[in-house]
Amino acid sequence: MEAVIFIGLQASGKSSFYRERFFSTHVRINLDQLKTRNRERVLIKACLTSQQRFVIDNTNPTRMDRQKYITAAQTDQFRVVGYYFQSRISDCFARNQNRTEQVPEVAILSTAKNLELPSLKEGFDQLYYVRLSENGFLVEEWNDEVQ
């Protein structure tokens, strides 16, 4: 089974990427929709117990934010895959303007300030780098040495 963890700023394309790549195969776990950490924990536990693939579609900017998901998934023998969404703050601001539910710019800036690049050493089985281009999403394998 597989647990996918998204890492990136608000309005960097994470939810759009989920809809494009994982909608038909993975449960989406998103704190904006669930509203509380307790609901998030309950849904994650249900996915782990039922061996259901899932995506954590949150910003997950720090190693500490990601570690709780990685540990839980590994405990239940899930493969852990991370996707880091590269984006400029100015691009996120522009995409945010097109959202129906906009995120305050200060929140994007705060996440950018706290953002720590992921590493395979955190426990990811695979890690990818995602960029948004005019032609859609470009996905490349992560290389800890280059990043």
- Phi and psi of 95, rounded to 5°? -65, -35
* pLDDT at site 119: 96
The domain locations on the chain are: 2-141
- Please give the single-letter amino acid code of residue 16: S
| DSSP strands (E only) in 1-147 | 2-7, 27-29, 54-56, 79-85, 126-133, 136-141
Any residues with CB less than 8 A from the CB of 43 and at least 6 apart, and which?
27, 29, 34, 54
Query: Could you report the per-residue pLDDT of 21-53, keeping only the tens digit for each?
Result: 999 999 999 998 999 999 999 999 999 999 999
**pLDDT of residue 89 exceeding 90:** yes
Query: Could you report the per-residue pLDDT of 110-127, keeping only the tens digit for each?
Result: 999 999 999 999 999 999
What's the pTM value of the predicted model, to 2 decimals? 0.94
Q: How many CA atoms lie within 13 A of 79 on its CB side?
A: 7
Average pLDDT of every residue of the chain: 95
- Are 80 and 125 in contact by the 8 Å Cβ rule? The answer is yes
Please tell us whether the domain made up of 2-141 is placed in CATH 3.40.50.300: yes
